[in-house]
Structure 1
Amino acid sequence: MDTTHTTRTRTRWSMLIDRLGAPSARDCADAPPISPAPLAHHGHWNWLFADEMGLAVEAPRASFSSQDTAEDWLEANADSLGRLGVSAATLLDGEHAVYGPTPLRRTPEAA
């Protein structure tokens, strides 16, 4: 059992995220830049990304002040995230999943 806290075991997601490597510069060279997330001083909404196999994918971390803001950001950056290997996302409110994994809605020419 892999633990980081004496009373709590690590989740499968946290172990998968630890094992991921950052995408190579070659993989990201043609990807358009991902727009920065709006600053959220009290934000607790964020995304967990997965590939086609359902494994966690390392992507930009962002925190949002509302569910609407998080969803707008995901929609605006779906094509760029797809080029990083993201095919689905789960919306988190703090540590709790709100919904997902849901497939990214990419434009037809980007898919």
Structure 2
Amino acid sequence: MKQDQPAAHDLVGTVRDYLEGLAGKIDETHRFDLRVATHLLGIVERELRDRPDFDASERETLRGLTNAADGESEIDALCRALRAGDLDDRWDEAMAAVMRSVELKMEVVRPSALERPDRGGKSR
């Protein structure tokens, strides 16, 4: 049963914010544990909030590149096509799709890794 607001990602974000506020009130050993916990809660928050859109974007990108069979995941179809050499003449397009897939995953796991100091922000 779907609950009324707030959404799950908002609840996780609230807990993460609360825990981050405790950082200055605990000793150094526990502060590290707190940083790990808040990092993991950030991943969960982004996963709940953004993953459906990212999954759809990834599927759309890979669907245009592969001929996934009914019930076959687009990633499996990409792997099959790469192993078979079906994308050898479309290598740039295949690499762009793979890079987009990795970028979408990094947006959930560690978005700061996508920042480029030389460009003043995100790589996109």
- The TM-score bracket by the shorter chain reads under 0.3
Select the structure that is richer in helix: 2
Q: Which is greater in Rg?
A: 2
Larger RCO (CA within 8 A; separation ≥ 6) = 1
| TM-score (normalised: structure 2) | 0.26
Q: Which has the higher strand share?
A: 1
